Structure 1
């Protein structure tokens, strides 16, 4: 097939991905061909099964391979690969051949990992549980109309509350400009479906919000990554990309961004809006962490007053992700189109959940909860950043607010491999390639400071730094010899162990590689 270069600066995962892509692109591996099982490939090339698992998963996401339960991995039909520019079959438009079921399964399949240092939400004890309980009791005592679907735009009193909250941010709107959604994910999806067509160039933060990036790929958008800096954007590169690609829209998260934690400076916001005006594109501002920001600061929406900006918010991060209440604020003409799309796809959002959130927001303890939450996150930031720095990690930005730190270590060049090793220790990390526009291998890792309180996380990282980032199988510790993938399956006879490496088989053999894989809870 091809030869790996262990001494190369290019990570082994990247070498495997690039090598198999070349063989598929040049026709050496034809559609329907079964590629070597994970164990066979690892044995033939003398690498860890973790490395091969990571490579094969990326090839599935890139549309080159497909996983079949109890059979293994096969080259995807050639048409699906050749049409990456025009879109996968059955999807209007193109830009990416993407197995959406594969990704959505990853989001929720790893809930058994007890330490979720890479996840995208807060521990339940940090959320507004008391407020929700009080609201639930009040709602139970009230008379509720169970016979209708509710207002298509959402519960009117909550939309009025959001109008007042926007006024505090100096964004002047009326309640009719607020569309309640099932979390921010639906808000972003509605914006994408209304504004993006297959083949459109779309600017995105790079790195950026993983769920959005996968959604845009599935819609057939051509993702154009705008490099983030600790202070916002690489503005010269942004302008060059705009001139080269002529985008229709820029999806961005200026404040306490996921995964980097960075916040764009005011001058950067002004420049983004100037470029949007000059080159005639819209901006979707994902501001779901605004309530975690202790500093009052302008947003793109406040500077633009919704002329070119659509504004997305959510209560999932601060009240409860289970209630799934987000919102989208936009120009009156655009909001009507978005409301129509919402009705087409799901009629209305849950008025019951919206009433619960409204009660929690208005029962009198909301601001006190936010103050305590911000203080708790600030303390966690200081503690976790200090521990990572003492281990030798480079930290991209230290916001001392929000949920995330973005860090890398010179001895740990492949975050994907590190995350797989962490899963073997019951720890879920946030590997950086999932947050990049091109899904390229990277050393960067997202840490959720609220879930980094246990000493065993830092013990694990220290051990991996001492080992120089080698695969646990190659370094002689609990890798190939004892991982759940190889020791728990029933051998190679039916290849049933390897067939589950992408999480399809659900057995306890090599499916454990994907069951323990850390790509899961990254929303």
Structure 2
């Protein structure tokens, strides 16, 4: 029996209504590639229309590339229908921070030099699996977390920090779920809405978003190959009276460059003069083979909060990071951690401790540094062959900062159509103004198709 006709929006024919019904489910990924749609007769009963109406609607969807007809079997969703999901910006729109982060975190959604992580194939999955199985046999992973974090791991971190000339007692080290968590804690403890926070420009876009989400004013300081404009930094400190400066000294994101010790010393002198706390983001520390003096080493954790993480070198899902600060501030940050999320997962902390204690981790990151060095030189040669300049001469980490001599927002749009992700320069500045620069991950496998897109 045919059901009464469904109520349709004004102006839509029965065929158009059926087409819209199917497209919404395909674009919303309720119906995924390879899935069979309801038969003509079934959908006709459900929609209260004739089978001829459904047939015409399905044929229109076939013509539009949403469906394919299989003789004797029915209509199925085509793979190409997901090429432009409804959640992405429409063609011609601006590539923004939300778009980039969603695509970076969406499994299999995109590939390309805009990604901010090492390829999964570079990480030691077998080592992680073995350590997880061993923890399971020990049966201690049901213990609750501690306010500061797993004590044996903090003791190991004390030794690792000392190798960087950063001297901290275990109670000055607070475990987090990563550098982003650490920055959130510092902002919660020190920064009020409306306060100014200084960043170097360009800067990791995550820091820009986190600071803005706290209601603080982001003030960017231009930073070239040799470091920030120190005169501008001093002027802004005097004018804005900032509560915090977000700083990276080694293998900075997005440029891959490190700051000279003399520049770091002058930055710290300005911070002391204007009573500014410095948040030092050293998430790429273990990918840095060069000797780079950290701000926390020069400052002795007086006004510097130092933050690191293992998520870049072990696995993105192993969310273990840490911060080190003076004893009084470490207590405040521990309290902020408890109030905003209680404790951090001890299972992950025990996993990282096991890998560090058994000395497997150091061998793993040594291999990563060697592999990155080779990929970095290949990328530099590629840009030189294409006549494209990169900023400075990065010796560490996974990023280069390349001047593509075109609006990289528009370049990102063209690449997106081919499901290739690039990170345009506008995302790494406080103003998000159009830019000719882009961040390039040296681990990206650039084939001819990608090269033609990048350098057209």
Q: In the alignment, which residue of structure 2 is the partner of 1:142?
A: 138
d(CA) in 1 for partners of 2:112, 2:202: 20
Q: Is the 8 A contact 2:250 2:282 kept in 1?
A: yes
Larger radius of gyration: 2
Q: Is the 8 A contact 2:301 2:326 kept in 1?
A: yes
Structure 1 residues 288, 49: closer, same or farther in 2, change over 3 A?
Answer: closer
Check if 1:181 corresponds to 2:176. Answer: yes
d(CA) in 2 for partners of 1:364, 1:177: 24
Q: 1:212, CA displacement in angstroms? A: 1.1
d(CA) in 2 for partners of 1:269, 1:229: 14
Q: Which runs of 4+ in 1 moved over 6 A?
A: none
Structure 2 runs not aligned, ≥5 long:
1-88
Q: Is the 8 A contact 2:250 2:292 kept in 1?
A: no
Q: In the alignment, which residue of structure 2 is the partner of 1:438?
A: 431
Q: Deviation per CA, 1:427-484: give whole Å up to 9, x if none.
A: 100111111011111111111111244343212223x2xxxxxxxxxxxxxxxxxxxx
Q: Is the 8 A contact 2:104 2:116 kept in 1?
A: no
Check if 1:120 corresponds to 2:113. Answer: no
d(CA) in 2 for partners of 1:107, 1:424: 13
d(CA) in 2 for partners of 1:324, 1:343: 17
Check if 1:396 corresponds to 2:398. Answer: no
Q: Is the 8 A contact 1:134 1:360 kept in 2?
A: no
Q: Is the 8 A contact 2:179 2:308 kept in 1?
A: yes
Check if 1:169 corresponds to 2:164. Answer: yes
d(CA) in 1 for partners of 2:182, 2:103: 18
Instruction: Map 1:441-460 onto structure 2 (within 5 A).
Output: 441-460=434-453
Structure 1 residue matching 2:223: 3-state secondary structure? strand
Structure 1 vs Structure 2 CA RMSD: 1.9
Say which structure, 1 or 2, has more relative contact order (CA 8 Å, 6+ apart). Answer: 1
Check if 1:283 corresponds to 2:287. Answer: no
Q: In the alignment, which residue of structure 1 is the partner of 2:361?
A: 366
Structure 2 residue matching 1:406: 3-state secondary structure? strand
Which of 300, 303, 320 is the matching residue for 1:305?
300
Count of residue pairs brought into register by the alignment: 368
Structure 1 residues 105, 124: closer, same or farther in 2, change over 3 A?
Answer: closer
Q: In the alignment, which residue of structure 2 is the partner of 1:238?
A: 233
Q: 1:346, CA displacement in angstroms? A: 1.2
d(CA) in 2 for partners of 1:171, 1:109: 33
Q: Is the 8 A contact 1:131 1:366 kept in 2?
A: no
Which of 402, 420, 425 is the matching residue for 1:427?
420
Q: 1:50, CA displacement in angstroms? A: 3.5
Q: In the alignment, which residue of structure 2 is the partner of 1:82?
A: none
Structure 1 runs not aligned, ≥5 long:
1-47, 62-101, 465-523
Q: In the alignment, which residue of structure 1 is the partner of 2:380?
A: 385
Q: 1:387, CA displacement in angstroms? A: 0.6
Structure 2 residue matching 1:307: 3-state secondary structure? coil
Q: Is the 8 A contact 1:261 1:406 kept in 2?
A: yes
Which of 128, 133, 143 is the matching residue for 1:132?
128
| Higher mean C-alpha deviation, range 307-316 or range 360-369 | 360-369
Q: So what's the TM-score if we normalise by structure 2? A: 0.77
Q: In the alignment, which residue of structure 2 is the partner of 1:217?
A: 212
Q: 1:373, CA displacement in angstroms? A: 0.6
Q: Is the 8 A contact 1:132 1:357 kept in 2?
A: no
Q: Is the 8 A contact 2:112 2:422 kept in 1?
A: yes
Q: 1:134, CA displacement in angstroms? A: 2.5
Q: Deviation per CA, 1:461-514: give whole Å up to 9, x if none.
A: 23x2xxxxxxxxxxxxxxxxxxxxxxxxxxxxxxxxxxxxxxxxxxxxxxxxxx
Q: Is the 8 A contact 1:154 1:349 kept in 2?
A: yes
Q: So what's the TM-score if we normalise by structure 1? A: 0.68
Q: 1:425, CA displacement in angstroms? A: 1.6
d(CA) in 2 for partners of 1:401, 1:105: 24
Q: Is the 8 A contact 2:401 2:437 kept in 1?
A: yes
Q: Is the 8 A contact 1:285 1:312 kept in 2?
A: yes
Structure 1 residues 339, 103: closer, same or farther in 2, change over 3 A?
Answer: farther
Structure 1 residues 428, 134: closer, same or farther in 2, change over 3 A?
Answer: same
Which of 240, 253, 262 is the matching residue for 1:258?
253
Q: 1:108, CA displacement in angstroms? A: 5.1
Q: Is the 8 A contact 1:113 1:423 kept in 2?
A: no
